[in-house]
Amino acid sequence: MSKFDEVRARTADRKARGASQRYPEHAGRVRAGAVRVTLPVLRPECPYQKELQSECSTCAGPNEARRTYYCDHPDNAEGRCTRGNPLSGLWTCATCDRHPDAPKKEPVPVRSGDLPCGVAIGSYKWPALVELQVRAVRATCGPVPVLVSNDHPESAPALAAICAAHPDVTLDTNPERIGHTGGDLAVFWKGVTWGAARGLSVVAKLSQRMIFTGPYWLQDGARDLRASGLGTSGRASTEPRWPFRTEAVLLDVARWNRPEVLEHVAPGRYWDRREGGFAAEVAVLELIRFHLGGAYWPWPALPTNRRSKGPFVWHHSHSADEYRALAARFGVALPGDFHVGGWEGEYRDGIYSYG
């Protein structure tokens, strides 16, 4: 294939699928300071996109980003579709607020008959991410109570301001940094004890980078958990392989709010309790096995592949740009150091703790 033919084939859809956008002679070479970003997968064909109106004469190749279509969405007075949201920095249907699959910012109406539920969110380092979480929870689940468990005391003032700006959002900051495993398990303990005090039936434990976008994910999951007769709803992960996914778990408050259960997730440091490390995923699965009936209800909202997409944004399956695009829709700006990787950089800087 000639270089001209390869340029012609470099469409936005190929980029979205993760196809290589570099010439063979460029393989292995990355410009100094450059950061590779995975573009989001395009949504299904938008029913509002109509005829092609114009093409930019200065953009190289037949890239979809250079094309402007007519849009007949009733809220689009200009009638102009540029395949995206200019605030996001990406130009695909995946960042368009008017696409039918775009998450809605308006809260869903309260449904009668739903179980009393709440959300417990773990937080470390990025208060703006908690702001996005709270807004997303309220948009998808309505005015449910939210608890923020903070394992970064330096962020407490900023988080306090965020929580105070939203009704029924409570902040609980650890006196000192516990670390990754301990901080994760502490959210279970705090969520259950807080949920019991609030009279909640089910609490969803969420990691800060797990943001659900589908309507009533909490209420529907709580209904299925209660119908199952089990105390926990979640998923294992086959890729990468983890015995249990702790970034999103539904907890039956009555079954979890027992001393023999809570003692296994009480706030503290856990990593060094086992040779080679004691991960939160292992700790929770052992707790389910020995104290919560030996089984959990598979949560349909979570795929078994941690890298697969679903009705959520998660750092193993989505890019930082997709997070920023979602944040822009909710009027939130994520900090410049936000990333979707692991914590290797923080570990090198001496500020990360396995806990």
The Cα 171–Cα 340 span in angstroms is 24
Q: Which residue has the tokens 């607020």?
A: 97
> In the prediction, which pLDDT does 65 show?
56
The torsion defined by the Cα of 41, 93, 217 and 242, in degrees rounded to 10, comes to 10
The Cα 110–Cα 143 span in angstroms is 8
> In the prediction, which pLDDT does 234 show?
96
**Per-residue model confidence as pLDDT tens for the chain (355 residues):** 555 455 444 444 444 445 554 444 434 443 444 333 333 444 567 888 888 887 766 655 545 556 778 888 877 777 888 665 444 344 456 556 677 766 555 778 889 999 999 999 999 999 999 999 999 999 999 999 999 999 999 999 999 999 999 999 999 999 999 988 999 999 999 999 999 999 999 999 999 999 999 999 999 999 999 999 999 999 998 887 888 999 999 999 999 999 999 999 999 999 899 988 899 999 999 999 999 999 999 999 999 998 899 999 999 999 999 999 999 988 899 999 999 988 777 777 777 788 7
Answer whether 12's CB lies under 8 Å from 66's CB.
Answer: no
Tokens of 126: 């990025």
> In the prediction, which pLDDT does 12 show?
46
> In the prediction, which pLDDT does 201 show?
98
What domains are defined for the chain? 3-95 (no CATH), 117-348 (3.90.550.10)
- Note if the bond before 240 is cis, omega within 30 degrees: yes
Tell me the sheet residues that pair with 97: none
Phi and psi at residue 127, in whole multiples of 5°?
A: -55, -35
> In the prediction, which pLDDT does 348 show?
79
C-alpha to C-alpha distances, 156 to 126, 152, 188, nearest whole angstrom: 11, 7, 20
The Cα 52–Cα 221 span in angstroms is 42
> In the prediction, which pLDDT does 18 show?
52
The Cα 341–Cα 129 span in angstroms is 15
CB-facing half-sphere around the CA of 327: CA atoms within 13 A: 22
Per DSSP, the three-state class of 347 is helix
The Cα 178–Cα 190 span in angstroms is 14
Burial (0-12, 13-18, 19+ Cβ within 10 Å), 223 = middle
Burial (0-12, 13-18, 19+ Cβ within 10 Å), 330 = middle
> In the prediction, which pLDDT does 247 show?
95
